[in-house]
Amino acid sequence: MRIDKFLWSIRFYKTRSIATEEIKKNRVSMGTSAVKSSKEVKEGDIIKIRKNQIDYKIKVLQIPKSRMGAKLVPLHIQDVTDKEQYELLKLRKMTQDYYRNKGEGRPTKKDRRDMDDYVGNDIDADFTDWDDFFGETGNETEDEG
């Protein structure tokens, strides 16, 4: 089976075309050399894949006939990735900044909602009668006439 079809069928990539693109970018290798999409995969091969900034290593146990369910994947491959790689991934996820730095650009919708929640809606309740707010009364119309 071709390596691009194999990576798609074991659910390592969502589509076969994404698998092909990653292979063209030299992110998939067997042994010490990068492979082409047409490379045939055999049982016992160890495939190195660079994805999400870590290096995965998988060992081929069986060749599947077609794309399979996620529960059946362990029957066909064995994960031999170093534990340090998973620790790096966990560390990167923890240190990742999800929001922009303070003072950069306009507030996001979430920032705006947080500010509204912080300020509260007390202002709307206090100033319902605008005539009272500006100190206007009905007497001014009598003075003019």
Tell me the pTM. Answer: 0.61
Are 58 and 41 a contacting pair, CB within 8 Å?
Answer: no
User: Domain 3-81: which CATH class?
Assistant: alpha beta
When pLDDT is cut at 50, 70 and 90, the band that residue 139 belongs to is low
> Picking from 42-46, 71-75, 109-113, which range would have the lowest pLDDT averaged per residue?
109-113
| Secondary structure in 3-state letters for 32-72 | CEECCCCCECCCCCEEEEEECCEEEEEEECCCCCCCCCHHH
The residue that leads in pLDDT, 115 or 140, is 115
Rounded Cα gap, residues 39 and 30, in angstroms: 10
The identity of residue 38, as a single letter, is S
CA distance 16 to 4: 6
Looking only at Cα atoms, what is the longest distance across the chain? Answer: 102
How far apart CA 89 and CA 39 sit, in angstroms, is 29
Domain spans of the chain? 3-81
Total Cβ atoms within 10 A of residue 117: 9
Residues contacting 98, CB < 8 A, separation 6+: none
Give CA–CA dist 139/141, Å, rounded: 6
The predicted pLDDT at position 9 comes to: 92
Give buried/exposed letters for 37-69 (b at 16+ CB in 10 A, else e).
bebebeeebebbbeeeebebebebeebbeeeee
Residues 90 and 83: their CA atoms lie apart, in Å, by: 11
